[in-house]
Amino acid sequence: MEQAITRTLHALSDPTRRAILQMLNERDMTAGEIAARFAISAPSVSHHLSVLKAADLVTAERHGQYIVYRLNATVLQEVLSVLLDLFKVGVDTGNHRKEGDHA
């Protein structure tokens, strides 16, 4: 699981990859549709898609001559859950004063 989290965080560290995920959150897209929205080369977009696939953040399915990319939100939810558990977000650790307590 630790390796999966590392791959996911690495994939999310790049603004272009985050932008691709935001686009795929709106709808499934082909590599060409994704590439058309960026001022970078098609091979660069392909590299970003490969990183996202390796982290299981996107899935790719061939439709004839096109590859359609789809967001895999399940992985994001799992990683977020692990991070929330790690930092105990939302859990009262008992370090907070109760109403009426004075220092």
Q: What's the order of all strands across the beta sheet hosting 66-71?
A: 29-30, 66-71, 58-63
Domains of the chain: 2-87 (1.10.10.10)
Lowest mean pLDDT across 45-49, 83-87, 91-95: 91-95
Give the mean pLDDT of 11-27. Answer: 96
Q: How many CB atoms lie within 10 A of CB 18?
A: 14
Q: pLDDT tens digits, residue range 52-91?
A: 999 999 999 999 999 999 999 888 888 888 888 888 766 5
> What is the separation, in whole angstroms, between the first and last Cα of the chain?
42
How high does pLDDT run on average in the chain?
86
pTM over 0.85, yes/no: no
DSSP assignment of 40-70: S-HHHHHHHHHHHHHTTSEEEEEETTEEEEE
| Longest Cα separation, the chain | 70
